[in-house]
Amino acid sequence: MTKTFAITSAIALGVVLVGTGVYAFWPREVDCGGGAVAGGFDAMGGAFSLTDAQGNTVTEADLLDGPALLYFGYTFCPDVCPVDTVRNATAAEMLADDGVEVTPIFVSVDPARDTPDVVGEFAANVSEDMIGLTGTPEQIRDTVQAFRAYASVPAEPEDEYYLVGHSTFTYLVTEGGKVLDYFRREEPAEAVASRAACRLGA
């Protein structure tokens, strides 16, 4: 029994004893499930520069000293964005309960209406831990493109109540803006928390 346990443990650790030699190998990567993208996750994300709720310019280096759940939306969104951001905040709370700190981040794609004060208030109403970000149209465009997201603001809105078309993915990101996974809006908070924990090795 002891010998069998030792062999099993050695294999799990990626070590095999053959004769008098010790050989190391990489164990098979854990399959956490989730989505895939052409070119892999390394082709997504990266550096960005936006504005926080205090009006300060911030970059991925300032914000991402650990993992985050990043979502693109807008505060005037009638139904989708509030539901999705609450789901993300709930997933972050579940992870925190298990000792895994993940910050929920909301990035507006509607800079004309979403000033720093507006995104700050929106984020605070969802969760005291959520960070709200906005920026210039160019900054937002570049960030959206970096994450292969989508946003379409009407060029000439008929009134102040215009709607904005946008993708609804949530991205699990870490230092340097590296994307580890993404989540569809139909996935519940429990699924987001579980897969995020797996991706983070928690």
Model confidence, pTM: 0.82
Q: What is the mean pLDDT of residues 127-155?
A: 96
pLDDT of residue 149: 95
Annotated binding site: 77, 81, 166
The DSSP output letter for 51 is E
Nearest to 116 by CA among 186, 29, 54, 23: 54
Would the pLDDT of 122 be above 50? yes
CATH no., domain 41-155+162-199: 3.40.30.10
Annotated binding site for Cu cation: 77, 81, 166
pLDDT of residue 36: 63
Looking at this protein, which amino acid is placed at residue 121? E
Residue intervals of the chain classified under CATH 3.40.30.10 are 41-155+162-199
Share the mean pLDDT of the chain.
Answer: 86
- What whole-number distance in Å separates Cα of residue 103 and Cα of residue 101? 7
